[in-house]
Amino acid sequence: MSTGYASRHFEFGKARVHVMSGGEGEPMLFLHPAAGAGYWMPFHEMLAESFTVISPDHPGFGDSDALEWIDGMDDLVYFYLDLLERLDIERTHLLGASLGGWLAVELALHQPSLARSLVLVDPIGLDIPEHPIEDIFAMNPDELRAALFHDPDVARRFIPEEPDFEALMRAFKEKSAFARLAWNPFCCNPKLPLRTHRIAAPTLILWGRHDRLVPPAHGERYRDLIANSRLEFIEDSGHAPLLEQPRLTVDAIGKFVSETASGTPATGG
């Protein structure tokens, strides 16, 4: 069944923040990675078969305007605490990929009652000096394709070889918004390991088997830091399993939620 989705904008001062939502069932808040926001993707559609998927574009990404005061991850967390009040969400399944995974961890430890379950897909956020994340800000498009994707054809679909002007402008906007959050400390909050004990929600950590951007050691560290967690790998995928293997990834998420989370997900069509 095709669920479709609704698009809404919320005013934050002069800025407009874009939120997509669709599907039926318990709420699942999706927190997107550092690129490609603003589109309802096949994985959204698959998730929407079992959940009410709420998918905001972070300020400065996708169709959301930037907010001048968001200058670091803690600002983004406080923005989300406000947005969740506006969305009337007190408790939700939390799903975050890459940058969004880091954000999901931060939200879960700021407000432990928020997460019914936590799913992290190749999250950044940790500083592991012996397994560094490559400097994504310095990568050219060829290097990005190789770092982010396992399948070169999929890579070319998401990072085209001849982007148009609009695509270049959008990439600049999203990279700038990302840099505000993750330039230095680079892609991490060094204090995260001191705080992750606050996370009580059952947690699934998914890792693309061929993630060449964020080494799997980061997944293992998250598994060790979060008490009620397990780590699984998604085959034939790089850093972005939701894009490269949406069916496998969404199935793993659905299975985890139905096995471990308190509620029973609505049956999809």
Count CB atoms within 10 A of the CB of residue 139: 15
Cβ–Cβ under 8 Å, residues 136 and 106: no
Using the rule CB under 8 A, is 129 a contact of other proteins?
no
Cβ–Cβ under 8 Å, residues 205 and 217: no
DSSP single-letter state for residue 125: B
Pick the stretch among 18-26, 83-91, 164-172, 252-260 that binds other proteins (CB under 8 A): 164-172
- Spell out, one character per residue from 46 to 75, where the chain touches other proteins: x when CB under 8 A holds, - when not: -------------------------x----
What lies within 8 Å, CB to CB, of 26 at 6+ separation is: 51, 52, 92, 93, 116, 263, 265, 266
Buried b (16+ CB within 10 A) or exposed e, 180-198: bbbeeeebbbeebbeebee
Pick the stretch among 14-22, 120-128, 130-138, 258-266 that binds other proteins (CB under 8 A): 130-138
| Residue among 72 and 263 whose Cβ is closer to other proteins | 72
Question: At its nearest, how many Å lie between other proteins and the CB of residue 140?
Answer: 6
- Spell out, one character per residue from 85 to 104, where the chain touches other proteins: x when CB under 8 A holds, - when not: --------------------
Question: At its nearest, how many Å lie between other proteins and the CB of residue 113?
Answer: 33
DSSP single-letter state for residue 137: G
Q: Give which of 6, 30, 27, 5 is closest to 249, Cα–Cα.
A: 30
Which of 42, 186, 255, 264 lies at the binding interface for other proteins (CB under 8 A)? 186
Which of 110, 173, 195, 212 lies at the binding interface for other proteins (CB under 8 A)? 173
Residues 110, 105: Cα–Cα separation, whole Å: 9
Using the rule CB under 8 A, is 16 a contact of other proteins?
no
Backbone angles phi, psi at 139, to 5 degrees: -80, 140
Structure tokens at 109: 């430890």
| Residue among 39 and 186 whose Cβ is closer to other proteins | 186
Identify residues 137-156 at the interface with other proteins (CB under 8 A).
137-140
| Residue among 185 and 263 whose Cβ is closer to other proteins | 185
Using the rule CB under 8 A, is 172 a contact of other proteins?
yes
Question: At its nearest, how many Å lie between other proteins and the CB of residue 167?
Answer: 11
DSSP single-letter state for residue 12: E
Q: Is the peptide bond before 185 cis (omega within 30 degrees of 0)?
A: yes
Q: CA torsion angle for 262, 266, 268, 269 (degrees, to 10)? A: 160
Pick the stretch among 23-31, 131-139, 218-226, 241-249 that binds other proteins (CB under 8 A): 131-139
Pick the stretch among 6-14, 75-83, 98-106, 173-181 that binds other proteins (CB under 8 A): 173-181
